[in-house]
């Protein structure tokens, strides 16, 4: 049966699309809705990764009326939880700005004190625990996202934290002690929170940057092909979206991708409704052309067809009136169709469809006992239209024959009536070759998920030179 079939390359490309002086052929435009989704994910992660956060110990000697000088120590001051209720994300020339307002935080701590007076020559001490409620916590971050040697580089430009209000509840202790805490330690604890949270956020940004730096610059598509996933130029930001570009061209394994043969024109003109979709992914036709070239050079555009819906077409008896000498020499013999693409297909993306011109050598093999006998070869140039759609979680396609031309390349059974052969070839293409390919395309290619998230309700659009996917993103159910 057939080897891996080329159209699956096209389907795979449709599902992995994340522009440039060195041109980028795959682009991703993340709308404000998509950025809000990313922001909410980051904040949700921050709410859990920032805590528990231990603050430095606080020591101070205070003078309290009628008591004297009291040494107070606060230890094991820990932010146990942070709850964010309101946040915004904006993009622009200054970078990516995230603002959190009205957040709350819960803290716990231990306290102890000791003092002595002229009335009591011995030291008096006590200890206990306390809970702290922080209200109106405000956090602001300004991030820079650049391209560095083909990878994304995330940097923290500014980070600030401000506590509007704090309340302390002591477990035990005299009333004078509470007043001492309120008067002396509110500002200290607030300052400790305002210092510790930005430091912890900076550590988290460094880790996130390391994750971005570790993204592969080359994605293996097969043992013989890879996709150049290097980022091109810095991401472009505006009030409406954040845009990324990657090179996106295919190359043979361990071979440097060259974009000199490809000339991308402008960006995709079709646009998603930015209010409705989180991401717009655009794939230039040159990605498909580079894949076509690589798979052709790797000799992967070759198929053997031995089973078809009308099996009589693969028996010499079905050809006896068109090629009588074939039937006379090999009566009632089964046959195979040996299909080989003779040069890389020409692929053009147009409005609503993808056109492909495929030069194909069709060799008819006769099965004689245990021997496979090639008897004739016909060169066919097929003009097709390919449509694609996403149904559920799979990308499926359908190929339609527009036109074809043919010529006899060689024959071992004498001269042929090419007009009759062309009629039979038309029937064979429509009833054998295209149904075979469509049976593969119809099964579709499952859209993969990425770290627990997937495209949600995606749709495919075709415009001049570009394939566009508009989609939301959701967690995998």
- Asked if residue 326 lies in contact with residue 319, where contact means CB atoms within 8 angstroms, the answer is yes
DSSP state, residue 430? I
Residue 7's pLDDT is what? 36
Instruction: Look up the pTM and report it.
Output: 0.78
In this predicted structure, the answer to whether residue 465 has a pLDDT above a threshold of 50 is yes
Q: Where are the beta strands (DSSP E) in 240-352?
A: 241-246, 250-252, 279-284, 302-305, 335-341, 346-350
- Distance CA(259)–CA(289), nearest Å, equals 11
Non-local (6+) Cβ contacts of 80 within 8 A are 51, 52, 106, 107, 108
At 290, is the pLDDT very low, low, confident or very high (cuts 50, 70, 90)?
very high
Fold of 7-30+218-475: Bactericidal permeability-increasing protein; domain 2 (3.15.20)
At 261, is the pLDDT very low, low, confident or very high (cuts 50, 70, 90)?
low
CA 419, 422, 423, 424 dihedral sign is positive
At 179, is the pLDDT very low, low, confident or very high (cuts 50, 70, 90)?
low
Residue 97's pLDDT is what? 93
In this predicted structure, the answer to whether residue 122 has a pLDDT above a threshold of 90 is no
- Per-residue pLDDT averaged across 355-382, rounded? 92
At 128, is the pLDDT very low, low, confident or very high (cuts 50, 70, 90)?
confident
Residue 10's pLDDT is what? 36
Name residue 142's beta-bridge partners: 97, 158
- Distance CA(384)–CA(358), nearest Å, equals 8
Lowest mean pLDDT among 111-125, 204-218, 227-241: 111-125
In this predicted structure, the answer to whether residue 477 has a pLDDT above a threshold of 80 is no
CA 192, 198, 201, 205 dihedral sign is negative
CA 380, 383, 387, 388 dihedral sign is positive
Arithmetic mean of pLDDT over the chain: 84
In this predicted structure, the answer to whether residue 117 has a pLDDT above a threshold of 80 is no
In this predicted structure, the answer to whether residue 184 has a pLDDT above a threshold of 80 is no
- Asked if residue 216 lies in contact with residue 228, where contact means CB atoms within 8 angstroms, the answer is no
At 83, is the pLDDT very low, low, confident or very high (cuts 50, 70, 90)?
very high
The number of beta carbons lying within 10 Å of the beta carbon of residue 390 is: 20
Lowest mean pLDDT among 46-60, 172-186, 212-226, 337-351: 172-186
- Distance CA(389)–CA(391), nearest Å, equals 6
- Distance CA(295)–CA(222), nearest Å, equals 10
pLDDT tens column, 356-369: 999 999 999 999 88
At 273, is the pLDDT very low, low, confident or very high (cuts 50, 70, 90)?
low
- Asked if residue 74 lies in contact with residue 87, where contact means CB atoms within 8 angstroms, the answer is no
In this predicted structure, the answer to whether residue 319 has a pLDDT above a threshold of 90 is no
Name residue 64's beta-bridge partners: 68
Residue 66 or residue 288, greater confidence: 288
- Of the chain, the percentage scoring pLDDT greater than 90 comes to 45
- Per-residue pLDDT averaged across 136-155, rounded? 94
pLDDT tens column, 414-435: 888 888 888 878 887 888 778 8
Query: What crossing angle do the helices spanning 7-15 and 434-443 adopt, rounded to 10°?
Result: 30
Q: Report the top-level CATH class of 50-213.
A: alpha beta
Domain ranges, ordered by start, for the chain: 7-30+218-475, 50-213
Non-local (6+) Cβ contacts of 194 within 8 A are 160, 161, 162, 163
- Per-residue pLDDT averaged across 41-64, rounded? 88
The number of beta carbons lying within 10 Å of the beta carbon of residue 292 is: 23
Residue of 474, 332, 289, 461 whose CA lies nearest to 390? 461
């Amino acid at each position: 049966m057939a080897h891996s079939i080329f159209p699956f390359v096209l389907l795979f490309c449709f599902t992995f699309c994340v522009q440039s002086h060195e041109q980028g052929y795959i682009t991703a435009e993340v709308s404000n809705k998509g950025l809000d989704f990313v922001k909410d994910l980051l904040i949700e992660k921050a709410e859990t990764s920032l805590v528990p956060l231990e603050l430095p110990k606080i020591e101070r000697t205070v003078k309290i009326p009628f008591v004297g000088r009291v040494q107070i120590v606060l230890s094991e001051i820990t932010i146990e939880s942070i709850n964010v209720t309101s946040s915004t994300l904006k993009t622009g020339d200054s970078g990516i700005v995230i603002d959190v307002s009205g957040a709350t935080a819960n803290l716990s701590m231990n306290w102890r004190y000791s003092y002595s007076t002229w009335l009591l020559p011995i030291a008096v001490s006590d200890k206990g625990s306390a809970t702290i409620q922080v209200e109106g916590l405000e956090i602001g971050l300004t991030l820079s996202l650049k391209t560095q040697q083909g990878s994304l580089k995330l940097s923290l430009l500014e980070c600030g934290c401000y506590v509007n209000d704090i309340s302390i509840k002591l477990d035990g202790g005299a009333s004078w002690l509470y007043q001492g805490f309120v008067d002396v330690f509110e500002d200290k604890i607030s300052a400790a929170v305002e210092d510790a949270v930005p430091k912890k956020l900076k550590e988290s940004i460094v880790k996130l940057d390391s994750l971005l730096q570790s993204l592969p610059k080359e994605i293996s598509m097969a043992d013989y092909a890879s996709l150049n996933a290097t980022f091109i130029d810095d991401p472009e930001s505006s009030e409406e979206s954040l845009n990324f570009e990657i090179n996106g061209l295919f190359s043979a394994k361990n071979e440097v991708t060259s974009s000199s043969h490809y000339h991308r024109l402008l960006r995709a003109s079709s646009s998603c409704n930015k209010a409705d979709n989180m991401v717009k992914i655009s794939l230039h036709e040159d990605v498909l052309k580079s894949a076509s070239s690589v798979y052709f050079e790797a000799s992967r555009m070759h198929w053997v067809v031995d089973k078809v819906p009308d099996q009589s077409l693969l028996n010499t008896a079905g050809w006896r009136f068109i090629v009588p000498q074939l039937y006379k020499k090999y009566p009632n013999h089964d046959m195979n169709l040996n299909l080989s693409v003779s040069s890389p297909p020409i692929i053009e993306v147009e409005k609503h469809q993808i056109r492909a011109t495929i030069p194909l050598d069709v060799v008819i093999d006769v099965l004689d006992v245990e021997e496979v006998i090639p008897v004739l070869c016909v060169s066919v140039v097929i003009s097709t239209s390919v449509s694609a759609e996403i149904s559920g979680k799979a990308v499926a396609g359908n190929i339609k024959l527009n036109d074809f031309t043919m010529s006899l390349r060689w024959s071992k059974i004498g001269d042929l009536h090419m007009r009759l052969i062309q009629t039979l070839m038309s029937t064979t293409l429509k009833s054998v070759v295209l149904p075979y390919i469509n049976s593969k395309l119809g099964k579709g290619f499952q859209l993969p998920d990425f770290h627990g998230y997937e495209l949600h309700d995606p749709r495919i659009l075709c415009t001049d030179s570009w394939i566009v996917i508009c989609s939301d993103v959701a967690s995998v159910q």
